[in-house]
């Protein structure tokens, strides 16, 4: 009878294990110190994106610049180009990076051809999709440059890009853009504007909650879509229980390190 009142966890043990493994992988290979010291939770608000824009091109460029900076890739030669300028097939320059991988201390040792990325014009009226898409593409660039595959190997690359985008601080937008309600008659619904999510809503919310946990953020649910708030609270409970009962030395060491930074 008591089992009827138990709250089930948001995710299965298998899903939780992979997401935590991938979070730890992100911390170990993509500048965990930058994550602890500099990463912030980015929100789709004027406080994070304050610049006024007057055209599609300006909107794309302003959001790109902000996402690149928030991700800590401001030193990288990643360049935005218009969709019509993207080649059908482009090879990515292998960068020679000294020092840190992210932030102002990242040094590109030799001049390199720019890494070109573009945008989906359909997403201009859906800025959260545009933000999450940029973050995901930059995550893939970082993974390919680092040359270290995520847990599960190449088959999990796209899912790992979503995890890394949240690790950059974009978990609100990543979670909010997994699924789009058509609403009403669906006349305003544009499937071509939606980003292609590799994680489910529950998985995305869990990673966002995990990032908030290690960053000491108390109101990480504030800008989530209303139907995701309950999932976020369940994720927080699951994470707290996991940390209290964890036997994983890497996770506990990471938490201790994060708490030391916050104190």
Alpha-carbon span 205 to 17, nearest angstrom? 15
How far apart (Å, rounded) are the C-alpha atoms in residues 124 and 55?
Answer: 9
Asked whether the predicted pLDDT for residue 206 surpasses 70, the reply is yes
Which whole number is the average pLDDT over 89-118?
Answer: 86
What does the alpha-carbon distance between residue 68 and residue 170 come to, in Å, rounded to a whole number? 11
Give the lowest-confidence range in 121-125, 154-158, 206-210, 246-250. 246-250
Q: What is the pLDDT of residue 193?
A: 55
DSSP string, 98-114: EE-SSSTTEEE-S----
Q: What's the rounded Cα separation, in Å, for the pair 42 and 220?
A: 10
* Listed range (81-85, 131-135, 246-250) with the worst mean pLDDT: 246-250
In this prediction, residues 108-127 reach a mean pLDDT of 88
pLDDT digits (tens, 9 = 90+) for 172-203: 999 999 986 555 444 444 555 578 899 999 99
Residue 169 · residue 26 · CB < 8 Å: no
Q: Convert the pLDDT of each residue in 53-83 to its tens digit.
A: 889 899 999 999 999 999 999 999 999 998 8
Q: How far apart are CA 135 and CA 33, in angstroms?
A: 19
80 Cβ contact list (under 8 Å, min separation 6): 60, 61, 64, 116, 117, 118, 119
How much is the pLDDT for 243? 85
| Measured distance CA(255)–CA(241) in Å, rounded | 13
Task: Output the pLDDT for position 90.
Answer: 61
Main-chain phi, psi angles of 108, to 5 degrees = -85, 110
The per-residue pLDDT for 123 is: 87
- DSSP structural state of residue 149: P
List the one residue out of 73, 3, 9, 4 whose CA is nearest residue 231. Answer: 9
> Which pLDDT does position 192 carry in this prediction?
53
pLDDT in the model for residue 262: 60
Give the mean model confidence (pLDDT) for residues 122-137: 92
Predicted structure pTM score? 0.89
- Beta strands (DSSP E) in 60-206 are 78-80, 97-99, 106-108, 115-117
pLDDT band at 5 (very low <50, low <70, confident <90, very high): very low
Question: What local confidence, expressed as pLDDT, does residue 3 receive?
Answer: 47
């Amino acid at each position: 009878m008591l089992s009827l009142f138990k709250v089930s966890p948001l995710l299965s043990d298998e899903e939780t294990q992979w997401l935590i493994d991938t979070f730890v992988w992100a911390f170990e290979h993509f500048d965990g110190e930058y994550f602890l010291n500099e990463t912030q939770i980015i929100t789709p608000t004027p406080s994070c994106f304050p610049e006024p824009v007057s055209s599609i091109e300006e909107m794309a460029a302003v959001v790109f610049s902000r996402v690149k900076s928030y991700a800590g890739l401001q030193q990288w030669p990643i360049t935005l180009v218009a969709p019509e300028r993207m080649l059908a097939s482009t090879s990515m320059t292998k960068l020679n990076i000294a020092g840190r991988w992210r932030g102002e201390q990242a040094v590109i040792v030799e001049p390199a051809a720019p890494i070109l990325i573009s945008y989906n014009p359909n997403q201009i009226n859906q800025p959260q999709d545009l933000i999450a898409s940029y973050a995901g593409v930059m995550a893939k660039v970082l993974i390919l440059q680092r040359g270290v595959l995520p847990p599960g190997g190449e088959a999990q690359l796209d899912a790992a890009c979503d995890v890394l985008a949240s690790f950059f601080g974009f978990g609100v937008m990543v979670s909010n853009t997994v699924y789009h309600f058509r609403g009403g008659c669906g006349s305003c619904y544009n499937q071509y504007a939606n980003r292609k999510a590799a994680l489910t809503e529950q998985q995305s919310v869990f990673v966002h909650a995990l990032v908030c946990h290690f960053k000491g953020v108390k109101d990480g649910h504030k800008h989530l879509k209303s139907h995701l708030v309950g999932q976020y609270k369940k994720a927080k409970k699951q994470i707290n229980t996991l940390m209290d009962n964890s036997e994983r030395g890497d996770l506990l060491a990471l938490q201790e390190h994060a708490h030391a930074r916050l104190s």
